Amino acid sequence: MAALGAMSSASAETLNALFMAQAAYSDSDVKAMTAAFEKDNPGVTVNLEFVPYEALYDKIVASKAAGGAGYDVVLYDVIWPAAFAQNNVLVDVTDRLKGLDRSQIFDGAWATVDYDGKTYGMPWILDTKYLFYNTEMLKKAGIAAPPKTWEELAKDAKIIKDKGIVQYPIVWSWSQAEAVICDYVTIAAAYGGKFFDDGKPAFDKGGSLDALKYMVQTLKDGVSNPNSKEYLEEDVRKVFSAGDAAFALNWTYMYGKANDPAESKVVGKVGVEPAPGVEGKTAASAVNGSMALGITAGSSKVDLAWKYIAYLTSKPVQDKYAQLSLPIWKASYTDPAVTKGQEPLVQSADVAIGLMTPRPMVASYQELSTILQTQIQNALAGKATPEDALAAAAKDAARIR
Amino acid sequence: MSGRIGMPSPWLLLGPMLVVVLAAVGYPVVTTIWLAFTDTRLMAGPGSAHWIGLENFAYVFTDADFLAAAGRTVYFTLVSVSAEALLGIAVALLLNQEFHGRTFCRALLVLPWALPTIVNALMWRLVYQPDFGVLNAVLSQTGLIGSYRSWLGVESSAMNAVILADVWKNYPLVALIVLAALQSAPAELYGAATLDGANAWHRFRVVTWPIIAPPLLVALVLRSIEALKVFDIFYVMTHGGPASATKTMSFFVYEESFRFMRVGSGASYALIVVLICMVFVGVYVRLLKRQEAS
């Protein structure tokens, strides 16, 4: 009887996996990859659950607090490993990676899974924000080349606005959410700003302050879409794809979607560049928005979970689905089968991936981010000056318990 | 005689039910109260917790952000519940009249209330969508606004926009309860009042109001409690933004417990919410008693 039980569990096993229902790979991509994995591993079923990005962290934390027997495989963001490592949420897979030459994968991708000398999963989505532009609108405005600096971007946007080509040339994801932090960090990196200095908050001075001033100024000048204050990345994509913006800052996935006739009115007019820099300081800027797959500490099927993760993150699978999310593997970027049709994106990625600025790797990141989101929004709403807003954020951040 | 012999004690009959109630209600309540006096962290588990007395509560009352959230929540409750009451009574009186298609209208009334909150919130987000939302389209075509506006992204309108969405979904509950009471009103009362020369307003005050007041109060108690602990509609429509203009008390409980993982202090926020609810309920109960006495 016991033998029989063991046999049946070996031939019919179930994995529970948690994914995200926006950006990067689409739901149907993940379903297709998983179906192929199940075909290769008869008897294995993978239950997929898709939640919006905003609910991903809550789900992982709640399942850990409830005993952790819920998910085996979870998708997680580059900002969470510190909190996860300190609370024993994920399985340490350092030993499983011993046979792999780490230099085949970009450093920015590894930053997603490494914490304190240990590795907690495999990077899966290598992502940063790019500057997308509408080539037709730039041409109409007589702008020969896309802007290389943030100042130039604001100037070009003003020209486009004054010529009446579009009412609000730039669109951003500045809603009270993690999205606004990603835009802010991108601009702050260009201005040479720092988050912390000697362990103390430093986002209220220097380049970090200049970044928020820039954001507020573009709103005052009417070149930024004021609705940006309630937008997430998907809203930005829709506005850009509807032809209602000349410039947009967004993740990799927008390139494919903005060129998809079923979703977009600007097919063939989508330009992409690395996010701009600041004269005399930086040539371009980028934020690390990568994501990874990990095994929860409560999983009883660690080996099978790892097999699934290894499959999803393998080069052939990533190459096959490179339309919405570029692979983590360096070798993929010279493979014509991967780059075909998205050469401009891959060219920009060449620059941007090397520059990716991380958000602070601290266990209390969620709280720090919430404080910053609130104060950045206060400044964007005109309730406080950028100086006062960031000073208040620094004061609150120093108080985090 | 035979009925008395072998008749189990009432406690024995109630026993299974009591066990279920204690497990389902008692356990979480006791745990929450205990947590509120500790520094428990969500992922570290209860074993790591320390008893810290009133420290969490001391923090709550010095937290200007929480006090602001409490103020916002009370505003949300007062405005949305009174709007629901007025609209509910008006619609109930209307649907109590004899007219063609009344049954159809009554069925239609239940529809918003039957929608899950999340669906309602998503629907209203589309209505308010600044670029192609129907609200902007209607208002600008009728000339009421000059250009398209952001409703949920602007501090001055975000809270009221959510209130409108909440009222639309919840006034049918009030209307249904009031309508049920109206149906039970004996027609002779109205006839007698008319004979006595009472006008419409008098008839409402003397005949209708005493009939609908007690069930209306019950409906308002239910709605007020729900409004004070409101979370989901804000989570979907604004996520607390812009610039925290729609951050309610329950949003704080959620953030503290699940985002920042401090379930101990999250529980203390939750208890404060319960206390505020009890104050509201107390006021209503007194009103109800006065109503019954008169």
Full DSSP string of B234-289: HHHHTTT-STTTT--HHHHHHIIIIIS--HHHHHHHHHHHHHHHHHHHHHHHHHHH
The bridge status of strand A291-295 relative to strand A170-171 is unpaired
Q: Which of the residue ranges A69-73, A287-291, B159-163, B274-278 would you say has the lowest mean pLDDT?
A: A69-73
Amino acid at B273: V
**Interface test mutation site (partner B, options A54, A64, A76, A230, max chain B beta carbons within 10 A):** A230
| A65 vs B contacts (CB less than 8 Å) | 42-43, 45, 263
Q: Looking at residues B248-276, what average pLDDT do you find? A: 92
The pLDDT score that the predictor gives to residue B98 is 86
List the end-to-end C-alpha distance of chain A, in Å, as a whole number: 54
- Percentage of chain A beyond pLDDT 70 is 97
Distance of alpha carbon A277 from alpha carbon A286, whole angstroms: 9
Residue A98 has pLDDT above 70, yes or no: yes
The pLDDT score that the predictor gives to residue B294 is 66
The pLDDT score that the predictor gives to residue A6 is 42
From A374's Cα to the closest Cα of chain B, the distance in A is 5
| A61 vs B contacts (CB less than 8 Å) | 42-43, 258, 261
Does residue A244 sit at the B interface (CB-CB below 8 Å)? yes
The pLDDT score that the predictor gives to residue A9 is 44
Neighbour-count burial for A19-35, b at 16+ CB within 10 Å, e otherwise:
bbebbbbbeebbeebbe
pLDDT grade for B46, boundaries at 50, 70 and 90 = low
Residue B217, CA atoms < 13 Å, CB-side half-sphere: 18
Neighbour-count burial for B189-221, b at 16+ CB within 10 Å, e otherwise:
eeeebeeeebeeeebeeebbeebbbebbbebbb
Omega into A316 within 30° of 0, i.e. cis? no
Distance of alpha carbon A55 from alpha carbon A72, whole angstroms: 17
Give yes or no for a contact between A329 and A104, defined as CB atoms under 8 angstroms apart. yes
Q: CB burial class (10 A; 0-12, 13-18, 19+) of residue B20?
A: exposed
Q: How many CB atoms lie within 10 A of CB A50?
A: 17
SS3 (DSSP) at B198: coil
Interface A-B, measured as beta-carbon pairs within 8 A, has a size of 87
Distance of alpha carbon B42 from alpha carbon A68, whole angstroms: 12
The pLDDT score that the predictor gives to residue B228 is 95
Q: Which residues have CB under 8 Å from B24's CB, separation 6+?
A: none
Higher pLDDT, B83 or A1: B83
| B241 vs A contacts (CB less than 8 Å) | 175-177, 229-230, 373, 377
Q: Which residues have CB under 8 Å from A158's CB, separation 6+?
A: A169, A221, A223
**Interface test mutation site (partner A, options B41, B254, B255, B260, max chain A beta carbons within 10 A):** B260
Q: Looking at residues A130-152, what average pLDDT do you find? A: 97
Q: Looking at residues B197-207, what average pLDDT do you find? A: 85
Full DSSP string of B27-63: HHHHHHHHHHTB---TTT-GGG--B-TTHHHHHHHH-
For residue A326, give the H/E element and its range.
none
The pLDDT score that the predictor gives to residue A1 is 39
Residue of chain A whose Cα is closest to the Cα of B43: A65
The pLDDT score that the predictor gives to residue A371 is 93
Q: Looking at residues B31-58, what average pLDDT do you find? A: 85
| Span B22-44, pLDDT tens digits | 889 889 899 999 999 998 888 77
| Span A269-289, pLDDT tens digits | 999 999 999 999 999 999 999
| Span A198-219, pLDDT tens digits | 878 889 999 999 999 999 999 9
